Amino acid sequence: MSEEVFKLSENFAKNVFNDAVMAEKLPSKTYKALKETIETGRELDREVANSVAHAMKEWAIERGATHFTHWFQPMTDITAEKHDSFITPVDGGRVIMSFSGKELIKGEPDASSFPSGGLRATFEARGYTSWDCTSPAFLKEDAGGVTLCIPTAFCSYTGEALDKKTPLLRSMEAIDREAVRFMKLFGHDDVKKVTCSVGAEQEYFLIDQEKFKKRPDLKYTGHTLFGNMPPKGQEMDDHYFGAIKERVAAFMKEVNEECWKLGILAKTQHNEAAPAQHELAPIYATANIATDHNQLIMEIMKKVAKRHGLECLLHEKPYRGVNGSGKHNNWSLVTDTGINMLDPGKVPHENTQFLLLLAAIIKAVDENAELIRIASSNPGNDYRLGADEAPPAIVSVFLGDQLEDVVMQYINSGDADHSLQGGKMSIGVHTMAKFSKDATDRNRTSPFAFTGNKFELRMVASSLSVAGANTVLNTIVADALSGICDELERSKDLDADIHKMIAKILKEHSRVIFNGNGYSEEWKKEAEKRGLPNKKCMVDAVESLVYPHTVEIFEKFNVLSKVELEARAEINYETYAKSVNIEARTMIDMTTKQYIPAVIGYTKDLADSVNSVRAAIPGIDVSVQASILSEVSEYLKETKNALDALAKVTIDANLIEDAKTRAMSFKDNVVPAMAALRRPVDALEMLVDKAKWPVPSYGDMMFDDV
C-alpha cells in the first residue's frame, strides 16, 4: 500500500511541462514573460518562444521523446496529431535534435480533410495550428514511443476557427471580462480575472474484446443496432456502486496511473447503474484544461481497455433497455481572489451578488435553451435524451428547495428575508454522530441542476467534447452579465436597483425553473404550456446555432462569427446524416450476411426435423416444430421486406444534396426504417437456436467477464 502511495506522488504529472517544470527549466526572464502571457493574454514574442522551445525539447528528449506534435481538437470530438521527429541533418551524415520557437508556435496541417462545414474546399488545403500556452505541453508514452504533445488551436488559412478549442478560449475571455465587471458592482475591485472551472464526469461501458469483435454494429457505430434485453437487466439495482470486479479494477488502476502521469486529477470511480457501466470523475480544473483532460481520459480509456482484452464503449447508448452514458459537466466561476461566485453561502437570501448571478444564469438558459441542447448533442445522444434514465430534451433549471424558496420570495415581494436551512440529520442510531444536512436534495432528472456551488449540465453526450457546451455556457452567461452591468453601472442607488433587477429577471424567466420529476409525462405537457422548447431530435435544434440572437451574441463577444456558426450548423447536419447512414448500412450488412443466412439455416433444421420425425414415426404430431417453422418464416419474410425498404430509403436520402434536407430525410425516413428492421430480427433472436445465432447476445456482452 505504502509503495503505491509513494509511486503516485513520484509519478504525478511527471509527463507534463507544467508551471513547476517551467520555473525550473526556463531562464527567469523567459519564465516571467511566459507567465505574463498566460495570465494577462499579452502577446508572446519570438525570443521567448525560442527559449521555451529549447527548454521543452531538452526536457522531452531527456525523457526519451523522439517526436513532437501539435495536438489539436478538430470538430470531430476527438483529437488530432501529426508527428515530426526532432532530427535535423548536419555535416558528416549525422543528425542533431532541434526544435525552434517557430515550430512551437505554428504548425501547418492539411485543413481540407477535417470537417469545416464548407469553410474549406478540398483544394484550399492550408490550415494552421497555433500554440495555446495556457494548456501545458505533455508527453504521450506508449508502444509507439514518447511524443511531445503541444496543445494548439486550429484555424483555416483565412483565420476561421476550425476546432473546438479556439471558441472555448474566446468564450473564456468573454466571461472573464464580463464577470470582472460584474464583481466590481459588488465592490470587488481587487478581482482582476475570473476563470471558469469545469469537472467532467465520464460514463462508459466495458465489453470483452472477443465479444466486441463479433459485433459489427459495435465496431462500426459504437452501439448495438440489434439485440434483446437478457432476463436480467438493471432492475435489481445491484450494479450501481457495486463492488468493482477485479478485471475492471485492474483496468481502472491503469487508467488512473496513465491519467496521473499526465497531471489529470482522476479522483472518483464507481460502477454505474447499467451492467458493465462505470464512471470516472476527475477533480475540476480550468475549462480549457478540463477539456484537454477529458479528451485524454477518453483516449486513455480506449487504449488501456485493449491492453486488458477489453473494449471501452463511449457511445451514449450501447444497449437498448439499460441506461446509456452521459457526461456531467460541472461548471462554476471563480475569481483570482479565490471566490467561487456560485457559492450561495449559508444564508443565500442575503447574498445579492450570488442571487444576481443566479438570475443572470437563469435568464441565459431561458433565452438560449436550444443552443444548450445542440451543444450537448451528437447523434448517439438522441437514443438517450428523453429516455427514462436521461434528462429530457427540454432544458430546465433545478434549484432545489432552498433557492427556489428565495427565488419565490423575490418574485412575490421583490426581496427575500429568510433562507430555509437543512437542519441536523439523525439516522436514529445513538452511537452515530449527528451531522448537518444539506439545505437541498438532489435531482437526477434535471438537465441543468444547481448542486451546492456549481451548475451541473447533465445532458452532454458521453463521447462528445465538453468544449462546445462550455463555450455556449460561457458566452450566454457573459451576455446576460454584460446586459446587467450596462444597466447597473449607471445606477444612482445600486443596492435598490440590484434588488429590483434580481426580482425583474426572475419574474421574466422563472418558467425555466423546474424542481419536479423531469422524466414524467406531466412535465412534457407543463413545459409545453410554459412555452419551453422540446427538440426531441438533435437535427431539430441545429438551427438555433444560426438564430439571429445567437449570431448577435457570439459576434458581440468575438466567440464565433456568423460564418463560423453556419459552418458548425452544417457540420451538425452532415455528422447526423453520416452517422445514421453508417448505422443503416451496418444493419443492412449484418442482416444480409449474418442474420438471414443463419435464420435460413435454422428453418432448414426445423424442416428436416419435421420430415425426419415424421419418417421415424408416421402420423406423429409435429405441430410444435411446424408452428415454430412457420413463425420463423413469417419473421424472415418481414425481415427481408424491411431490409429492402431500408436499403431504398437510405439510397434516396444519400441522393439529397442539401445537408439539412439530407439530415431531415435520414431522421424522418431512415431512422423509422431501421426500427422496422430491428423489430423482426430481434423477434427472431428469441426464436432461433442460440448456437446458431451469429452474434453475441446482450447477456453475453453485459454479464460475461466484465
- Residues of this chain that bind ligand ADP (CB under 6 A): 197-199, 201, 268, 281-284, 330-332, 340, 451, 453-454
Q: With respect to ligand ADP, which residue has the nearer C-beta, 95 or 283? A: 283
- The CA distance from 454 to 468, in Å, is 18
Neighbours of 367 (CB within 10 A): 18
Shorter beta-carbon distance to Mg ion: residue 29 or 444: 444
Identity of the residue, 170 or 328, whose beta carbon is nearer to Mg ion in the bound complex: 328
Beta-carbon neighbour count of residue 621 at 10 Å?
10
Helix, strand, or coil (residue 575)? helix
Say which residues have a Cβ less than 8 Å from residue 275's Cβ, sequence separation at least 6.
232, 233, 234, 239, 322, 702, 703
327 membership: H or E segment, kind and range: strand 326-335
Instruction: Give the integer Cα–Cα distance in Å for 663 and 18.
Output: 44
Name the binder of 22 from Mg ion, ligand ADP, none, CB < 5-8 A by kind: none
Count the residues in the chain.
Answer: 706
Shortest distance, position 356 Cβ to ligand ADP, whole Å: 19
| Distance in Å, CB of 454 to Mg ion, minimum | 10
3-state secondary structure 158-178: CCCECECHHHHHHHHHHHHHH
Q: Which does 319 bind (CB under 5 to 8 A by kind): ligand ADP, Mg ion, none?
A: none
Contact yes or no for 370/387 (Cβ under 8 A) = no
Give CA–CA dist 459/392, Å, rounded. 8
What are the Cα distances from residue 146, in Å, to 96, 120, 300? 17, 33, 15
- Quote helix, strand, coil % in the chain, to nearest 5: 50, 15, 35
Q: How far is the CB of 208 from ligand ADP (least distance, A)?
A: 29
Give the residue from 408, 685, 429, 668 showing the smallest Cα distance to 539.
668
Return the residue nearest Mg ion (CB atom). Answer: 328
Rounded least distance, CB 451 to Mg ion, Å: 7
Residue nearest to ligand ADP (CB): 199
681, 654 Cβ separation under 8 angstroms = no
> What does 340 interact with, of ligand ADP, Mg ion, none (CB < 5 to 8 A by kind)?
ligand ADP
> Which residues make Cβ contacts (< 8 Å) with residue 447, sequence separation at least 6?
372, 376, 391, 392, 394, 395, 396, 457, 458, 459, 518
- Helix ranges (H only) for 466-519 are 467-488, 494-509
Cα–Cα distance for residue pair 126/34, rounded to 1 Å: 28
* Spacing of C-alpha 311 from chain mean position: 19
- The one of Mg ion, ligand ADP, none whose footprint includes residue 425, by CB under 5 to 8 A per kind, is none
CB atoms within 10 A of CB 20: 10
Which partner in Mg ion, ligand ADP, none is near 592 (CB below 5 to 8 A by kind)? none
C-beta closer to Mg ion: residue 57 or 454: 454
Task: Find which of Mg ion, ligand ADP, none residue 667 binds, CB within 5 to 8 Å per kind.
Answer: none
Residues binding Mg ion: number (CB under 5 A): 1
Residue 442 or 692 with smaller CB distance to ligand ADP: 442
Q: Which is nearer to ligand ADP, 451 or 579 (CB)?
A: 451
Q: Using CB under 5 A, which residues numbered 323 to 362 contact Mg ion?
A: 328
Instruction: Find how far residue 384's CA is from the centre of its chain.
Output: 13
CB of 339 to ligand ADP, least distance (A): 11
197 binds, among Mg ion, ligand ADP, none (CB under 5 to 8 A by kind): ligand ADP
Selection from Mg ion, ligand ADP, none that 87 binds (CB < 5 to 8 A by kind) is: none
Amino acid occupying residue 69:
T
- Closer CB to ligand ADP, residue 458 or residue 660? 458
What SS3 class is residue 570? helix
> Which residues are CB-neighbours of 119 under 8 A, at least 6 positions away?
156, 158, 160, 162, 563, 564, 567
- Binding to Mg ion by CB under 5 A, coded x per residue (else -) over 301-330, reads ---------------------------x--
Tell the smallest beta-carbon distance from residue 202 to Mg ion (Å).
11
Q: How far is the CB of 201 from Mg ion (least distance, A)?
A: 5
Selection from 572, 497, 499 nearest residue 164 by Cα:
572
Nearer of residues 328 and 667 to Mg ion, judged by Cβ: 328
| Cβ proximity to Mg ion, 396 vs 639, nearer residue | 396
Q: What's the closest the beta carbon of residue 317 comes to ligand ADP, in angstroms? A: 22
Which listed option, Mg ion, ligand ADP, none, makes contact with residue 284 (CB within 5 to 8 Å by class)? ligand ADP
Q: What does 453 interact with, of Mg ion, ligand ADP, none (CB < 5 to 8 A by kind)?
A: ligand ADP
CB of 284 to ligand ADP, least distance (A): 3
User: Hey, what's the cell of 469?
Assistant: 457546451
Min separation Cβ 450 and Mg ion, Å: 12
Q: Which three cell numbers, joined as nine digits, stand for 622?
A: 409435429
458 binds Mg ion (CB under 5 A): no
Amino acid letter, 651: I
Q: Considering beta carbons, is residue 207 or 399 the nearer one to ligand ADP?
A: 399
Least separation, in Å, of the C-beta of 268 and ligand ADP?
6
| CA separation for the pair 361, 354 (Å, rounded) | 11
For residue 340, the minimal CB distance to ligand ADP (Å) is: 5
Element (H, E) at 278: strand 277-282
Query: Residue 222's binding partner, choosing from ligand ADP, Mg ion, none, with beta-carbon cut-off 5 to 8 A by kind?
Result: none
Smaller CB distance to Mg ion: residue 211 or 328? 328
Of 324 and 680, CB closest to ligand ADP: 324
- Nearer Cβ to ligand ADP, position 468 or 680? 468
Shortest distance, position 334 Cβ to ligand ADP, whole Å: 7
Q: Which residues bind Mg ion (CB under 5 A)?
A: 328
